């Protein structure tokens, strides 16, 4: 009888060790076959269906580049179920900025700084903002800092945005880059998103103080912020903790915050600078016109700034913001 008990135990062990994984694998295989991914599209674009040109799994993102029926290219992060359009590029017109908030970003960098000798951006993306600033103001010493090496490679391959005189690209985390350098800039643009989230260490008081320390006198920080969640109030409070003055420009869903220290840039100064730069550089998007996008948003002024110690970015991003008001 003990032999029979032993045989039963062995059967139970083999049952759990061999049968269970095989059954799990079979069920998984069936599920994958039943929900097989649609093959990648290779046919000519139709009005509704963009064509995927490439798909890359980088160290940080699932990146894909699509060609729309209107000829514009799209840079997407994320997989089929959940993806984010990071950039829209007109390959025939490198100065076109089809995404409205990028027009506000470049205006922040062109109209507000006292001088216009050097600028940098954290987050290259599709390179629209960077390429517009570089091509519009060729004398500007411009540095783009991008974490993802595949974004840099694809940007050069598909969008023609690559290092050249007065335009350098650094493959590094934006905050780490700032901690390593001593130089200062007239404008520091920040547009670093990973899908829907700003990496938390790029949205804290310590980070913005680092940004402020790398600005020349009269220089400005320009930040793209998505306003629909509780994170907006915290973002404003955090930027406010490092800068004396904040100016808000709407950007069709996003809000661009221009932040600076020192004396306030009054209306006359901004109008003069915008007019001078429009005249000197013949800008595609007239800064004076886009300055009219300025507004004062509703935000909870009691909100505490985020810090390296306490920055629940993902949590705040998940909570819808009430009474959101944008012009």
Partner 1 sequence: MSEPANQEAPAGPWAIALVILDVATLGFITLGFEMVASRILTPLFGSGIYTWATIISIVVAGLMAGYFVGGLLADRFPTFTLAAAIKLVAAVYLAVVFALAGDGLESLIDRIPGETTALFAGGLIVCFPPLVVLGMYSPLSVRLLLRRPGDAGKISGGLFAISCLGNIAGILGTTFLLIPTIGTRAITGGFAGFLFVSGLVSIAARLSQRATEP
- 252 in contact with partner 1 (CB under 8 A): no
The footprint of partner 1 on residues 39-78 (CB under 8 A) is 59-60
Residue 176 interacts with partner 1 (CB under 8 A)? Answer: yes
Q: In the complex with partner 1, which residue's Cβ is closer, 11 or 26?
A: 11
Quote the CA–CA distance of 297 and 292 in Å, as a whole number. Answer: 14
Residues 195, 86: Cα–Cα separation, whole Å: 8
Q: Which residues of 261-285 are buried (b: 16+ CB within 10 A; e: fewer)?
A: eeeebeeeebeebbeebbeebebeb
Contact (Cβ atoms closer than 8 angstroms) between residue 102 and residue 85: no
Give the separation between CA 208 and CA 214, rounded to whole angstroms. Answer: 10
Among candidate residues 277, 242, 236, 274, the one with its CA nearest the CA of residue 261: 242
When the beta carbons of 146 and 226 are compared against partner 1, the nearer one is 146
For the CB of residue 177, give the shortest distance to partner 1 in the complex, in Å.
Answer: 9
Answer for the pair 154, 63: CB distance below 8 angstroms, yes or no.
Answer: yes
Backbone angles phi, psi at 133, to 5 degrees: -65, -40
Give the footprint of partner 1 on residues 17-46 (CB under 8 A). none
Q: Which residues, numbered 86-105, are part of the site for partner 1 (CB under 8 A)?
A: none
Among 200, 269, 271, 298, binds partner 1 (CB under 8 A): 200
Tell me if 97 sits within 8 A of 128, measured CB to CB: yes
Residue 207 binds partner 1 (CB under 8 A): yes
Contact flag: residue 308 with partner 1 (CB under 8 A): yes
Nearer to partner 1, 168 or 307 (CB): 307
Write each residue from 107 to 146 as x if it is in contact with partner 1 (CB under 8 A), else as -, in one continuous string.
----------------------------------------
Q: Which helix (H) or strand (E) holds 231?
A: helix 231-240
Stretch of 1-9, 86-94, 132-140, 198-206 lying at the interface with partner 1 (CB under 8 A): 198-206
Residue selected from 74, 97, 131, 175 as contacting partner 1 according to rule CB under 8 A: 175
CA distance 260 to 239: 10
Q: Report if residue 310 touches partner 1, rule: CB under 8 A.
A: yes
What is the contact surface with partner 1 in residues (CB under 8 A)? 59-60, 147, 172-173, 175-176, 194, 199-201, 204, 206-207, 307-310, 312, 314-316
């Amino acid at each position: 009888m003990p032999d029979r008990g032993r045989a039963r135990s062995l059967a139970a062990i083999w049952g759990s060790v061999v049968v269970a994984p095989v059954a799990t694998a079979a069920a998984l295989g069936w599920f994958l076959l039943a929900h097989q991914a649609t093959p990648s599209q290779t046919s000519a674009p139709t009005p509704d269906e963009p064509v995927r040109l490439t798909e890359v799994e980088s160290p940080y993102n699932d990146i894909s580049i699509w060609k729309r029926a209107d000829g514009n290219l799209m840079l997407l992060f994320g997989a089929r179920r959940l993806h984010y359009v990071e950039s829209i590029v007109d390959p025939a017109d490198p100065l076109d900025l089809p995404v409205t908030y990028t027009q506000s970003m470049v205006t922040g960098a062109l109209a507000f700084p006292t001088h216009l000798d050097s600028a940098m951006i954290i987050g290259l993306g599709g390179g629209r903002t960077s390429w517009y600033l570089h091509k519009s103001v060729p004398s500007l010493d411009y540095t783009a800092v991008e974490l993802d090496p595949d974004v840099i490679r694809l940007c050069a391959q598909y969008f023609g945005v690559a290092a050249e005189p007065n335009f350098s690209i650094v493959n590094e985390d934006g905050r780490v880059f700032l901690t390593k350098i001593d130089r200062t800039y007239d404008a520091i643009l920040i547009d670093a998103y990973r899908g829907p989230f700003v990496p938390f260490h790029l949205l804290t008081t310590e980070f913005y103080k680092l940004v402020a320390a790398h600005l020349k006198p009269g220089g400005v920080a320009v930040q793209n912020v998505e306003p629909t969640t509780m994170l907006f109030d915290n973002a404003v409070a955090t930027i406010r903790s490092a800068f004396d003055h904040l100016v808000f420009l709407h950007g069709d869903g996003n809000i661009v915050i221009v932040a600076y220290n020192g004396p306030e840039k009054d209306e006359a100064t901004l109008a003069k600078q915008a007019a001078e730069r429009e005249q000197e550089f013949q800008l595609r998007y007239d800064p004076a016109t886009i300055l009219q996008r300025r507004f004062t948003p509703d935000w909870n002024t009691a909100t505490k700034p985020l810090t390296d110690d306490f920055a629940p970015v993902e949590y705040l991003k998940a909570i819808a913001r009430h009474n959101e008001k944008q012009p």
